[in-house]
Homo-oligomer: A and B are copies of this chain.
Amino acid sequence: MYRTHTCGELRLQHKGQPVTLAGWVQRIRNLGGMTFIDLRDRYGITQLTVNDDSPSGVKETAAMLGREFVLQTTGTVLERSNKNPKITTGDIEIGVTGITVLNVANTPPFTIEDESDGGEELRARYRYLDLRRNPLQKAIHLRHRMAQEVRKYLDSQRFLEIETPFLIKSTPEGARDFVVPSRMNPGEFYALPQSPQTFKQLLMVAGYDRYFQIVRCFRDEDLRADRQPEFTQIDCEMAFVEREDILQTFEGLARHLFKSVLGIEWVADFPRISYADAMNNYGSDKPDIRFDMRINDLTDAVKGKNFILFDSAEYIGGICIKGCADYTRKQLDELTEWVKRPQIGAKGLVYIRWTADGIKSSIDKFYTTDELSVIAAKCRATQGDLILLLSGDKKKTLEMIGSLRIEMGNRLGLRPNNVYAPLWVYDFPLLEWDDETQRFYAMHHPFTSPKPEDLPKFYSANRHDITQVNANAYDFVLNGVEIGGGSIRIHDSGVQRRMFEVLGFSEEEANYKFGFIINAFRYGAPPHGGIAFGFDRWCALFGGQETIRDYIAFPKNNTGRDVMLDAPSKIDEEQMKELYLKSVKSEA
């Protein structure tokens, strides 16, 4: 061992002790007769002191050190005269008696500090140096802790961690599958799994009852901001359970993580909300309930006053922004521009301000003060509040107000990243009708069970009835981010047949697409259901971030490249030949 202690370990109680440390040079301060060297490792920073009385070899070595040199040093723990309360080792320093340079270092291309001077691209290229920075060390450490605690909890609940294969079969609808040519089976390909969905259901058929895995998944698709072609899921499945059992079990997991990782004890049950209520109240299927600011349906209250914009709208909704009645015209214009951006797509913004001077609005022409008061009351506004209204097609308008709500939450600091609001969302629609192809699509996947009470509608010949069927599905939402989702699966072959019928698959087609799991289900499938959590994102949220890249040791950029490795890349002709493959020119 090159050290007796780490750089984060020594305290006043070690005073006088001879120690050996090893680490990287964080900083060197040369004050004439004294040289202070901050030595860094994963555990902290310890100050080394070299002065006129130090051995001459030590002084010589200290004089030629540079940032990020790797040192081994021996010395004695001394009490500092100038204590530094900002670091845990701030009460002591090491009076150096020996220094060995274990390795020299080129000057790093950016500073290894909490706030680096390096751009994103540069830091990505030297990821191994970026990973030395404290925020990333913290992120990677948090992720480690999360993973250990996830397993500890699930193991204690008798879940078995079972590894499923990465080299699987491409599904007929696997447009997003990464494929892997097989040298031993010329012309044939494996696929990398988008999730272990099939395997976990097979494990339930096999009797494994409670399965989990922290597992890499792959998706070859255009990367929206903050998506990765490979990402990690906490993947879980249980047999002989109903929805309530799954929610209880994984609320338990979340509670355990809150407590063990963040030290937050969660006493109350997590709130639950139906998809319909989430849309109506928050304009989102993943509401951030750290702040209230609910959407109020004003449709009935505002119609019939000859304001054509409202009279012609399917829906009018409003949110009350507490204490913002003093917004200036300029601020309101800017908000109007904000909602009119293509990402939101509103035509305009109506406002009502309730100041000490009374209620004023941008629609005073059409509404009396009394009528505005009614609207304000419906929005639970009081004096000092601002009300913002949008109108149009119901679903779209709700989503627009939902986005505006989040924006106002951000502007007003109502979304602090150290406050947590978990939430279950349930009763999602099972199917979505697509006008273009004139068929239903499964919102999740074709093995998602309808809610038992909706089965009559599911068997109805009426398309509208079928639209009304809810899935026995649920999402776990944290601070407005969906970090988990799952469902009770169909285990009844009659219901499964009906599902394929509704989706417009012939028996032949269903067998072609899903034959192998349908076959497995013929040998005694238990009732089962599960959930999968986005592990990268959960870690990021617990770390107080919304972006996941810092929580992945070696992430890819948003064109799917690893710029450190320079991957993907061309491969040898020789290798192509061995795989019986030829590249063809892009048609673009």
A208 at the interface (CB under 8 A from B): yes
Instruction: Determine if A230 is an interface residue (Cβ-Cβ < 8 Å).
Output: yes
Residues from chain B with a CB closer than 8 A to the CB of A1 are 240-242, 245
Q: Would you call A273 an interface residue if the criterion is a C-beta within 8 Å of the partner chain's C-beta atoms?
A: no
Given A169-B566, A218-B166, A523:B105 Cβ within 8 A: yes
Q: Are B222 and A184 in contact (CB under 8 A)?
A: yes
Q: How far, in whole Å, are A148 and B160 apart by their CA atoms in the complex?
A: 10
Among B106, B206, B561, point to the contact of A128 (Cβ < 8 A). B206
Query: Which B residues touch A554, using CB under 8 A?
Result: 164-165, 199, 202
Residues of B within 8 A of A500 (CB): none
B516 touches A564 (CB 8 A): yes
A522 to chain B, nearest CB (A): 5
6 sampled A-B residue pairs with Cβ under 8 A: A102-B491, A128-B205, A163-B553, A165-B556, A178-B180, A516-B566
A41 within 8 A of B: yes
Q: Is the CB of B206 within 8 A of A131?
A: yes
Task: For the complex formed, measure the closest distance between the CB of A8 and the CB atoms of chain B, giving whole angstroms.
Answer: 11
Across the interface, do A167 and B229 meet the contact criterion of CB distance under 8 Å? yes
Interface members, chain A 461-481 (any B CB < 8 Å): none
Identify A582's interface contact among B561, B575, B581, CB under 8 A.
Answer: B581
Specify which of B132, B209, B562, B569 is in contact with A165 (CB 8 Å cutoff).
B562
Q: Is A162 on the interface with B (CB-CB < 8 A)?
A: yes
Interface string of A434-467 (1 = CB under 8 A from B): 0000000000000000000000000000000000
Q: Of residues 199 to 251 in A, which have CB atoms within 8 Å of B's CB atoms? A: 199, 202-203, 205-209, 216, 218, 220, 222-223, 229-230, 232, 240-242, 245
B208 & A42 in contact (Cβ 8 Å cutoff): yes
Alpha-carbon distance between A72 and B586 when the two chains are bound, in angstroms = 58
Minimum CB distance partner of A169 in chain B: B567
Q: Is A333 an interface position by the 8 A CB rule?
A: no
* Of A30-38, A113-121, A137-145, A424-432, the one touching chain B: A137-145
Instruction: State A361–B190 Cα separation when bound (angstroms).
Output: 59
Contact A182 B220 (CB under 8 A): yes
Instruction: Report yes or no: B575 in contact with A584, Cβ–Cβ below 8 A.
Output: no
Q: Are A160 and B140 CB-contacts (below 8 A) given A190-B568, A230-B167?
A: yes
Q: Mark A166-201, 1 if CB is under 8 A from B, else 0.
A: 111110101101111111111111111000000100
- The stretch of A254-262, A312-320, A411-419, A524-532 in contact with B is A524-532
Contacts of A166 in B (CB 8 A): 166, 192, 216, 218, 230
A508 CB → nearest B CB, Å: 17
Query: B189, B245, B565: which contacts A168 (Cβ < 8 A)?
Result: B565
Q: Which of B23, B102, B165 interacts with A527 by CB under 8 Å?
A: B102
* In the complex, chain B residues whose CB is within 8 Å of the CB of A188: 568-570
Closest to A585 in B: B580
- Residue in chain B with minimal CB distance to A526: B70
Least Cβ–Cβ distance between A84 and chain B, in angstroms: 21
Does B185 lie within 8 Å of A160, measured CB to CB?
no
Contact of A331 with B by CB under 8 A: no
Task: Report chain B residues within 8 Å CB of A127.
Answer: 202, 206
Given contacts A137-B208, A188-B570, A582-B583, 7 further A-B pairs with CB under 8 A are A42-B209, A68-B523, A127-B202, A165-B562, A169-B566, A172-B572, A188-B568
Q: Which residue of B has the minimal Cβ distance to A212?
A: B144
Please, how many angstroms separate the alpha-carbon atoms of A583 and B583 in the complex? 9
- For residue A571, CB closer than 8 A to chain B, the reply is yes
Interface contact B580-A580, CB-CB below 8 Å: no
Closest to A106 in B: B522
Q: Which residue from B108, B178, B491 sits with its C-beta under 8 Å from A103? A: B491
Which of A105, A163, A562 has the most chain B CB atoms inside 10 A of its CB? A163
Q: Are the C-beta atoms of B586 and A583 separated by less than 8 Å?
A: no
Contact B140 A560 (CB under 8 A): no
Report yes or no: B170 in contact with A575, Cβ–Cβ below 8 A: yes
Q: A277 at interface (Cβ–Cβ under 8 A)?
A: no
A570 and B187 form a contact (CB under 8 A)? yes
